[in-house]
Structure 1
């Protein structure tokens, strides 16, 4: 007889439910949310486990990787599908959620989610840390501007390099205000230095990565976009074709159809907000800043004339994702002319 397990993972403890193939509860228990403890639970079971379901979450990658290495049939399930399935229960408890996930494993009613490799996880951590340092530095700069504005001191348009000199010039001769602003400038300087260190690490990675260098031949695509795309997609073969990348990144419109009603809405914006934002920025840069003409820019300009700039940028972002996946999969280079360009 086969057995199926469901795990409802929390920060400290994990609820475990094990069902047999008839749906009867074989065992329920709680274990610490640590790979060694969970592996020990299943090894002590001494039963043929067909699937072990885990819902995508903060501890997933850590637990999933260790369980797979231990030879356990772990499966990561999509959060929205799990939520829809578990909503049928009247009472939401960790025990009931684990039992519901085990039932999803038993009846094969789930969609598996790809768990990224350790290399992609590390690169994504670098991108997240870089973005965090940049956002915090910008937030402090805006706060400094707001504080000074209350005293009639206007910073004006100034670049990142000249920001500190401009602030020191404004607070010169105002010691009470300088005592407040100077510590903020020190924090801002430290954040900018941290951002520079992380950005140099990013550039070093893209310089040594063949796939990133190839993707950077696309106009508008720089090191940040290339590294983010490779760390997000992780394994190109997990998509059945290049056109499937757009929906996976939330760049396709929502559709609500029922009877005679058929509404097409905005893009779904599901899954990866960082990658979607970077693709949007790359598309906007291609349309507004890149001077060299290409078939891709000509296509986007024609869309902009018919549908407007904003929709054209979104459409171009989606097409960039398709082209980047195709180039990564077959090892081709970006072609500037329409006659020699592969159909995306």
Structure 2
């Protein structure tokens, strides 16, 4: 007899449902959302589990990795979007019902398994997202100060980030009360700039030591942030039998709707890793508009922009860059600007 356990995870507790291969519920209950507590709850049944599944979420990667280390058999992480679509017909949504449905999906095999990233990859992702948060918050503070000064008819104009505080202090010399208020924001601004510098140094150290990152950075428009974000999203290039499959994973392929006589393509799906997709769009924009050196890849993008416009060309070029970077990663090669032996000339997005 085969047994399947569905886990509906929340921050505090996890609802668990165990069914056999005939779909009969063996046991239901709750356990703390801790790997040891869940593993103990399952072990009390003394049955051989074929699959133990949970949806993707904030705790999913950590729980899955820890339960595997604790010896829980058949742990899989299920695509939450796919599982949600399967449960849309449910009229009463509760944690217990969700766990039941997940267990039945595991039994029937009607689920999509998601790759669970390693701890080192999650550490890299945490570094990159922390950097992005600081960049956004620094921009928010600067915009708040600019908007506040506009109330008094003061226009900062263009100013470099490093000289922004000095510029504000010069312009508010005749407004002591305003200067006193904004000084608190400028103090936070300076502290965030210092933290951003430290994180940037961490990123550069990792980029210098990461051999794959250095090779990917040979692509025009791809810097350390883009390369490391791409590496964190893909993690293992062997997961893809074809390089062009990377575009679908990152949500950069058109939607497809075919039914009867209707057959049309829509906008890109925008599924998968949004950070990697955003970074690739930036790299494509830089390659199209800032990079001066000629390459087969850039020539392809410029020609496409002439036919379909810059927006579509940027999306297509971003997908092409993702495919080329995967091929370089697999082959252990660097970017070649000429057509001869160039992976960008042969890879198809």
Q: What TM-score range do you get, normalising by the shorter chain?
A: over 0.9
In structure 1, C-alpha distance between the alignment counterparts of 2:121 and 2:213, rounded to whole Å:
13
1:238 is aligned to 239
Q: Distance in 1 between matches of 2:105 and 2:333?
A: 41
**Which residue of structure 2 lines up, in the alignment, with residue 201 of structure 1?**
202
Superposed CA deviations along residues 191-211 of structure 1, whole A, max 9, x for unmatched, are 111111111101100100000
In structure 1, what is the equivalent of residue 41 of structure 2? Answer: 41
> What does 1:99-110 correspond to in 2, within 5 Å?
99-110=100-111
SS at 1:242's partner residue?
coil
Deviation at 1:80, TM superposition (A): 1.1
Distance 1:195 1:254 in 2: 38
How many residues get paired? 344
Q: Which residue of 1 aligns with 2:149?
A: 148
TM-score between the two structures when normalised by the length of structure 2: 0.97
Residues 291-310 of structure 1 aligned to structure 2 (within 5 Å): 291-310=292-311
In structure 2, runs of 5+ residues without a counterpart are none
Q: Tell me the residue number matched to 1:159.
A: 160
SS at 2:58 equivalent: coil
Map of 2:250 onto structure 1: 249
| Counterpart position of 2:18 | 18
Distance 2:253 2:131 in 1: 28
User: Which 4+ residue blocks in structure 1 deviate beyond 3 angstroms?
Assistant: none
Deviation string, structure 1 residues 310-335 (Cα, Å, up to 9, x no partner): 11111100000001111111101111
The Cα offsets for residues 84-123 of structure 1, whole Å up to 9 and x where unpaired, read as 1111222100000000000001011111000101111000
Matches within 5 A, 1:1-80: 1-72=1-72, 73-80=74-81
**Counterpart position of 2:321:** 320
Counterpart of 1:88 in structure 2 is 89
- For the residue of structure 1 that corresponds to 2:244, the secondary structure is helix
Shift of 1:173: 2.1
Structure-1 separation of matches of 2:258 and 2:185:
53
Residue 261 of structure 1 and its aligned partner are, at CA, apart by: 1.8
- Structural RMSD (CA): 0.8
Moved more, 203-212 or 83-92: 83-92
TM-score normalised to structure 1 length: 0.99
Query: Cα deviations across residues 236-295 of structure 1 (Å, max 9, x unaligned)?
Result: 111121100001101111122222222211111112111111000001001111111111
Task: Report the more deviating stretch, 150-159 or 253-262.
Answer: 253-262
CA distance in 1, matches of 2:83, 2:216: 35
Q: Which whole-Å CA distance do the structure 2 matches of 1:198 and 1:240 have between them?
A: 35
Gaps of 5+ in 1: none
**Aligned counterpart, 2:113:** 112
Q: Matched residue of 1:45: which SS?
A: coil
Q: Are positions 1:330 and 2:331 aligned together?
A: yes
Query: What SS class does the counterpart of residue 202 from structure 2 fall into?
Result: helix
Distance 1:42 1:93 in 2: 21
